[in-house]
Structure 1
């Protein structure tokens, strides 16, 4: 095991570096959502992978180099989750840390990790809450904020580990509310820190014999079937009805105006953005209509029509409930329905 440098040697090394120091950290995940935590030969504290950016490197390049040198890991550095700015501490230099997502690593990639340069002596896969408990106080907040940014599809702005007013992710809801009520956030910070929602539009088509049209996605969970439809491009000014028509045209090659709105569904998981789905009546497709379907192979693998009793084996429970509610609304003329995870 290499000798640990003395505290004086460490301070002298960092004192010779330009300020601010720039470092890059990786939140390395496996397919089970566990976090890779390292034990080093030169520190008593556990660490996340990464290190100081050198010479003319970008943070992404520096992190990729550290992953190769420390773990023999040659995987892409993912998106930026957070930035933490630390004022000068015992080493006499301010520090800017970029926190990036790495992975999720496949079981094969995780099993191939080794320690070629001897700086790392052990690596453990821990659940996020376990990782936060064993990491030092300067590192754990970065992991918490980075994971919050990952789950919300957002970004976290930290100063000395503390999420700042207006940080899109990582800001405690109680603190956000207190800042809002105190009136200390400007309009831009207020917008950035408010919770976000993902919006989609789907269309319910049936065949002449009452079977439901489902599509199999070419990405994500290909074992789960969906209704035709997709995300609403609200940033381009698209409204839900136009999105439903566009998605059907792109996915199925059918340019059909959606019928009436049958339901709006709201779903939510803690720590994730809410998901809002607008469900439209596509009407009945006869045999010639079905024969005109032409799939976009980049989005869909296949389509099929199914009886209502076949839905439990093909679609998630929440979507099955939405479809059932929409069929009932269509038959009775009720609606639009207000659904929460498919339930009234």
Structure 2
């Protein structure tokens, strides 16, 4: 209704390049550094408004990515509250990032900065929004903010010390408690060898294709899938082989600061003879090729943490021990 002021709606882009740098707009014509974006007009959705702002202001036409955060700001000088939707844009390939330009061609006003430098440069009301959005990006989650402050129960952006204090005080309701708890990503892999002891590796068609993996993939835990069933499904989808996994050889836990923990269940797939290897049929949407390699050839093909996991599993298989508890491939 015209006599009831509605909130102002804006859309902001966290525009990244492939090096993880953040695009910040600075220089003449701006009172302070800012992230790309602007008000949503007329009947636009926030996604449409952000796409228009990027197109008009920076000559950028990438698709607006997933929603990272929503920040609600109390009424300001105009007497109206503001709701800001923060979306991921990119990562932009190097040529596209280099081509970013502002009206008039003053490219010095468009700066690519490491995340911490970007947060230090942005004004106090904007920097916390970027930090929370990046936390949501890295954890695969979402941040709920009020005036830049993550709210109790926000799945991302909430300081761990504050989360613990809220949990211990008993002030979080069950839904907020579940939402704010740390999350983990789970996967299941299978160790196959040939009669000569060579290890079956697969080359992914996504991500870093120069890194080889064991057959396997993510566990669909939201569908009630258990690790063993996921291992069998992934092998059938990737290799076209329906083979029930053998015993559990190891469980590996790995973690990087600011990211979800990653848990991998590693199963013994047994020995594949020549006829079984000949039956392999790759899913081209997931894998480029497969090969068998000697354990001594693992360096340079798989990343060190996975190499340690494979070596530990080969030992557990040979000695009949396990399941092993591994942390980044090492025994604790």
Q: Which residue of 2 aligns with 1:33?
A: 20
Shift in alpha-carbon separation, 1:222–1:120, aligned structure 2, 3 A = closer
**Aligned-partner Cα distance in 2 for 1:117–1:54:** 24
Say whether the 8 Å CA contact 2:102–2:110 is kept in structure 1: no
Residue among 48, 54, 57 paired with 2:44: 57
- 1:250 and 2:251 are equivalent in the alignment: no
**Aligned-partner Cα distance in 2 for 1:40–1:55:** 29
For 1:24, what is the secondary structure of its paired residue?
strand
Cα shift at 1:19: 2.1
Say whether the 8 Å CA contact 1:25–1:51 is kept in structure 2: yes
Shift in alpha-carbon separation, 1:119–1:188, aligned structure 2, 3 A = farther
Cα shift at 1:92: 1.4
- 1:143 and 2:167 are equivalent in the alignment: no
Q: Which residue of 2 aligns with 1:301?
A: 288
Unaligned runs of 5+ in 2: none
Shift in alpha-carbon separation, 1:292–1:158, aligned structure 2, 3 A = same
**Aligned-partner Cα distance in 1 for 2:181–2:106:** 42
Residue among 308, 311, 326 paired with 1:324: 311
**Aligned-partner Cα distance in 1 for 2:193–2:266:** 14
**Aligned-partner Cα distance in 2 for 1:45–1:147:** 21
Q: Which residue of 1 aligns with 2:6?
A: 19
Unaligned runs of 5+ in 1: 1-15
Shift in alpha-carbon separation, 1:120–1:138, aligned structure 2, 3 A = farther
Q: Which residue of 1 aligns with 2:277?
A: 290
- Give the total of aligned pairs: 329
Deviations 1:40-72 (A, max 9, x none): 644321100000000000000000000011111
Residue among 174, 191, 215 paired with 1:204: 191
State TM-score, norm by structure 2. Answer: 0.97
Shift in alpha-carbon separation, 1:200–1:302, aligned structure 2, 3 A = same
Q: Which residue of 1 aligns with 2:321?
A: 334
For 1:32, what is the secondary structure of its paired residue?
coil
State TM-score, norm by structure 1. Answer: 0.93
Q: Which residue of 1 aligns with 2:169?
A: 182
Q: Which residue of 2 aligns with 1:7?
A: none
Q: How does 1:118-157 map to 2 (within 5 A)?
A: 122-157=109-144
**Aligned-partner Cα distance in 1 for 2:138–2:232:** 29
Q: 115-124 or 68-77, which moves further after superposition?
A: 115-124
